[in-house]
Amino acid sequence: MLNHLWQVFKDYYKACSMGNGTSRLYSALAKTLNSSAASQHREYLESPDPEHLEPIDPKELLEECRAVLHSRPPRFQRDFVDLKTDCPSSHPPIRVMQWNILAQALGEGKDNFAQCPVEALKWEERKCLILEEILAYQPDILCLQEVDHYFDTFQPLLSRLGYRGTFFPKPWSPCLDVEHNNGPDGCALFFLQNRFKLVHSTNIRLTAMALKTNQVAIVQTLECKESSQQLCVAVTHLKARSGWEQFRSAQGCDLLRNLQNLTQGAKIPLIVCGDFNAEPTEDVYKNFASSSLNLSSAYKLLSPDGQSEPPYTSWKIRTSGEYRHTLDYIWYSKHSLSVRAALDLLTEEQIGASRLPSFNYPSDHLSLVCDFSFNNEPDGLS
Ligand SMILES: NC(=O)C1=CN([C@@H]2O[C@H](COP(=O)(O)OP(=O)(O)OC[C@H]3O[C@@H](n4cnc5c(N)ncnc54)[C@H](OP(=O)(O)O)[C@@H]3O)[C@@H](O)[C@H]2O)C=CC1
Ligand SMILES: [Mg+2]
């Protein structure tokens, strides 16, 4: 106990000398004094045994994560913006989270982040920041890109939190080029099993100009247990880098074609989450905005006129320069779904001069979170 307290105080001085806030520290200190702290006893974080299936209380996992992160600056506050409160709904909203979490192997071995300290990228702590973000918003549906710790971290932990997960790795993941990698990165889709039943699941290797590419998508049809309404959800991560705009556009066309079939010609309401690696000026964005699937991009609703995308969803400094781009989107069927609320983005001040990732935030992409409801509920309330 004394040793642990001494460590907490050492961490306190370290945090102060870094000029960071101390609220995490107070919480860790209180925990140490009040109980046999979770920081000493990482029951969930250190035993992600796939055979271990007892449910986890999200609050307890969050406490474990906070104990691991006690010497880091506190999480930034992000608020939900209410967008549609006039229409009452008899069912709880469906919360959807879209997030490129940054593959561990790419962050350490390929991305060339120039301002992010290497200590901020340590997996044992960074994974707690990622889990903390997921646990803070508790999405019903979670769509992730750049997942290279599915089997050892996210699948075992999230399944004990009540999620069913699906992972589809990239066929030639660039993670595999990195020494000591943890396997390929890919897309993952999780949904809460107490809210949805899986009706249909498809893994798609996207094509461009009739050729198979290195980019993938997962598309699932879910049935809401409360309303019996069906919902189709897709997650994707399109080809990165400038010079590949036509390639991304072709991949987007392939995904749209697949989605036409999987939604039975737009009959089933659809949500598409992705890191499209494309600004709104690109063809792939325009094709999604004008498709016969009648999709709209949820985060436009945060702009004053409801017509503009946010100024950024990804902000980083590489050795090659600073990159601030809007690349991530949550598309939804605009006639059958409404966005009731959306999580505001981090401000430039919160992101800080070194940009992302950082000690505060684990990825170079921000998470996007929206609450949806169906427009036509069977009981006719909305
Ligand atoms: N062995 C083989 O035959 C093959 C191997 N490969 C491997 O895959 C790699 C390419 O795969 P592909 O899927 O097309 O990759 P992408 O070009 O789509 O990028 C892969 C990752 O790199 C990140 N990234 C984007 N821009 C940069 C940058 N400027 N510097 C560093 N990282 C960046 C992206 O992150 P974000 O999305 O966040 O921007 C993305 O997650 C090749 O480099 C090779 O290693 C690929 C095909 C065949
Ligand atoms: Mg990346």
In a domain, 25, yes or no: no
On the question of pLDDT at 307 being above 50, the answer is yes
On the question of pLDDT at 296 being above 60, the answer is yes
Which position has the higher pLDDT, 81 or 2?
A: 81
In a domain, 279, yes or no: yes
pLDDT digit string, tens, across residues 109-148: 999 999 999 999 999 999 999 999 999 999 999 999 999 9
In a domain, 222, yes or no: yes
44 pLDDT tier (thresholds 50, 70, 90): confident
Neighbours of 270 (CB within 10 A): 24
On the question of pLDDT at 25 being above 80, the answer is no
CB-based contact 355:321 (threshold 8 Å): no
343-372 mean pLDDT: 98
328 pLDDT tier (thresholds 50, 70, 90): very high
| pLDDT on residue 228 | 97
In a domain, 53, yes or no: no
In a domain, 358, yes or no: yes
CB-based contact 273:330 (threshold 8 Å): yes
Asked whether 111 lines ligand 1 (CB < 6 A), one says yes
Query: For ligand 1, what atom is nearest to the CA of residue 238?
Result: 18
| pLDDT on residue 38 | 43
- In order, the DSSP letters of 174-217 are GGGGSTT--S--EEEEEEETTTEEEEEEEEEEEEETTEEEEEEE
The domain of 261 spans 92-342+353-374
**Residue 357, preceding peptide bond in cis (omega within 30° of 0):** yes
Residue 42 has which token pair? 């990482």
Ligand 1 centre distance from Cα of residue 201 (Å): 26
Q: Which DSSP letter does residue 101 get? A: -
pTM of the model: 0.90
On the question of pLDDT at 155 being above 70, the answer is yes
Closest CA to 234 of 214, 208, 263, 207: 263
Asked whether 172 lines ligand 1 (CB < 6 A), one says yes
On the question of pLDDT at 194 being above 70, the answer is yes
Asked whether 177 lines ligand 1 (CB < 6 A), one says yes
42 pLDDT tier (thresholds 50, 70, 90): confident
On the question of pLDDT at 32 being above 90, the answer is no
**Average predicted confidence (pLDDT) for the chain:** 90
Return the residue whose CA atom lies nearest to atom 10 of ligand 1.
174
Q: Ligand 1 pocket test: pick from 277, 326, 328 the residue with the most ligand atoms within 8 Å of its Cβ.
A: 277
| pLDDT on residue 341 | 97
On the question of pLDDT at 19 being above 50, the answer is no
In a domain, 71, yes or no: no
| pLDDT on residue 31 | 44
In a domain, 21, yes or no: no
| pLDDT on residue 50 | 59
Q: What percent of the chain has a predicted confidence (pLDDT) above 70?
A: 86
Ligand 2 centre distance from Cα of residue 58 (Å): 28
- In order, the DSSP letters of 16-38 are HHTT---HHHHHHHHHHHHSS-T
Neighbours of 216 (CB within 10 A): 22
Q: ipTM of the predicted structure?
A: 0.93
101: CATH: 3.60.10.10
Q: How many domains does the chain have?
A: 1
Ligand 2 centre distance from Cα of residue 101 (Å): 8
Looking from the CA of 127 toward its CB, the CA atoms found within 13 Å total: 20
In a domain, 128, yes or no: yes
On the question of pLDDT at 214 being above 90, the answer is yes
